[in-house]
Amino acid sequence: MQAQDTKAKSDKPAHDQKHECLMAGDETWTALGLTAEQVTKVKAVQTSCKKDKMAAKDDATAMASMTKHETELKGILTPDQYTKYNAWCAEQHGHKPKSELKSDGDHMKK
């Protein structure tokens, strides 16, 4: 059954997967090493992303919106945090992290 669950997650459109990652909670952002100021900025991006997702009328609009918010997120995070975020997001959707990413998953454990 787990294989089905993983497949179900990865069958979602890319913008839905990225949206789910971007909507991570405070605990995840803290585990990724964000400062309180960064978390505040990420929450503002999350709010904007939620509004845009609800307003998107098609996949192309949703993808454009997600790309915009992903760019904003990248500007908030340090390069190391962004690398960790991408690895975490890939894990959430049953994908292996990209080969250039280190898989030292201990920083994500609760």
pLDDT for residue 106: 43
Residue labelled with tokens 């890939």 = 90
Please state the domain extents for the chain: 34-77, 78-110
Structure tokens at 104: 């030292």
pLDDT digits (tens, 9 = 90+) for 1-42: 444 444 444 566 666 788 899 999 999 999 999 999 999 999
What pTM did the predictor assign? 0.72
Burial class (CB in 10 A: 0-12, 13-18, 19+), 73: buried
In whole angstroms, give the CA distance from residue 87 to residue 96. 8
pLDDT for residue 5: 42
